Chains A and B, each alone.
Chain A
Amino acid sequence: MIEVQHIYKSFEGATVLQDINTSFEQGKTNLIIGQSGSGKTVLMKCCIGLYDVDEGNILFNDREFAHLAEKKRQQIRQEMGVLFQGGALFDSFNVEENIMFPLNMFTNMSPKEKKERVNFVLEHVDLAGTNRKFPSELSGGMLKRVAIARAISLIPKYLFADEPNSGLDPKTAERIDGLLSDLTKKFNMTTVINTHDMNSVLQIGEKISFINKGKLWWEGNNKEVLKTDNEELNEFIFATALTRRIKE
């Protein structure tokens, strides 16, 4: 479980996050939703330690993280898998080398064990046999799946995904959502996903935190999200013609 306790974050005087107090539960897909610029990416970057919080704390299974020195954060970071918006695969490495990278850095596995782990995670993301391909040879959906494979190669306790569906067609996006949800259950991970994709919200939103103007506006799940009377959340959910038509 990840506990976010009253965190504040500002950049050059502009407050981006104000008193965010929430938790992300183990074995569930926890979604952070909100409009572009609402502060959800900043919140995720605070959780993974790319930004330091101004106030408040972040606990990973009761272990303090936000105020640790960079070196002491490493241990918790090795229990994290992160899927960046663009995949962030290393261009000069092929698929196998990309997935093997965390294994090379943090394990003493033999080459055979590493190879087996690479094939194991590639099978889980339905990309068996693509070991020798380079990122430039992959489609957008395949890139995201390789990035997921790399993120889970150490079988992390915590999985973070920043807008995993951005730039993907609806069918591929749904496939990525399904994959993240299945992996969360299979490895009992605490998964945190940043998204503004309503299909993801409805499909895999076991816990949803709605961020608006840097504040936590609403919390609930995918069953409650359509029934809420929260005005700002409704504005966000029913912003498109499609969702408005569904509501009608």
Chain B
Amino acid sequence: MKILHQIGEYLYIMLQAFKRPDKGFVFRRQLLLDLKRIGSDSIGIVAIVSLFLGAIIAIQMAYNIDSPFIPNTIIGFSTRQMMVLEISPTFISMILAGKVGSRIASEIGTMRITEQIDALRVMGVNPANYLILPKITAAVIYFPILIIFSIFLGVVGGWISSIVTGIVPSAEYINGIRDWYDPFTISYAMIKTVVFAFIITSVSAYKGYTVKGGSVEVGQASTDAVVQSSILIIFFDLLLTQLLLT
């Protein structure tokens, strides 16, 4: 029963959020702020994690595929495929669920317990629309950019590690990343990213919006936002993979 109540509550809040904003310029200003907070502020962590993951994948590939019958280009190819298909859209989204999701849940949760959301309601503002819609829009716009950036840096990370460790010559790695390219893999990654962006922001906003109590409950909501977003990401990853790649 509790889960049904939560799903109903989540859908009701999303319906409120997806109404036409009262003032266009106020929405645009909030959107710009959220593009910075949710998107630009995440570039650093995405860059570091992607670069190192690409490097690690390339080294592990070289370690595991040690056969004269398999060409060295497979290392570049595998690094690219793993970054495009899974590591960037899913793994980086889970990191963003931790960073962005906890931020959204604690920000909105604090606004709830300090009566700022009540103040918005009493002023005649639709708080869900004012607080949640710009965040979802910002994530849906910015996450695909972050993921493209992550794929690029992952491939670069693999290339750097190949050169530094000498596991594969630079030319063979570059040839590998150009082998058997299927543009649909990028579309698949972008579709997943947009779905995950929506999950992260909407679930976190919902957890923050429905907080009752004090600082302990805000902390709990923040944790729940990350855990539930991560579980939903994995679930939808499986679902979308089944739907789009089979």
Residues in chain A within 8 A of chain B (CB atoms): 48-50, 73-75, 77-78, 80, 82, 84-86, 88-92, 101-102, 104-106
Contacts and interface: CB of A to CB of B under 8 A. Distances in A.
30 contacts: A49-B121, A49-B122, A50-B121, A50-B122, A73-B124, A75-B124, A77-B122, A78-B123, A78-B124, A82-B122, A82-B123, A84-B118, A84-B119, A85-B115, A88-B116, A89-B116, A90-B111, A90-B116, A90-B119, A91-B111, A91-B114, A91-B116, A101-B123, A104-B23, A104-B25, A104-B26, A105-B22, A105-B23, A105-B124, A106-B124
Given A105-B125, A106-B124, 10 more contacts: A73-B124, A84-B119, A88-B114, A89-B116, A91-B110, A91-B111, A92-B33, A104-B23, A105-B26, A105-B124
> Main SS of the interface on chain B?
helix
CB-CB nearest 10 A-B residue pairs? A88-B119, A77-B124, A88-B115, A74-B124, A84-B115, A82-B122, A78-B124, A88-B116, A48-B122, A102-B123
Contacts of A84: 115, 118-119
B205 to A, nearest CB: 16
Interface residues of B, number: 17
Contacts of B114: 86, 88, 91
Contacts of B118: 50, 84, 88
A89 B25 CA distance: 21
Nearest to B33: A92
Interface in B97-144: 110-111, 114-116, 118-119, 121-125
Interface of B: 22-23, 25-26, 33, 110-111, 114-116, 118-119, 121-125
B126 to A, nearest CB: 9
A84 B113 CA distance: 12
A11 B33 CA distance: 38
A77 B115 contact: no
Contacts of B110: 91
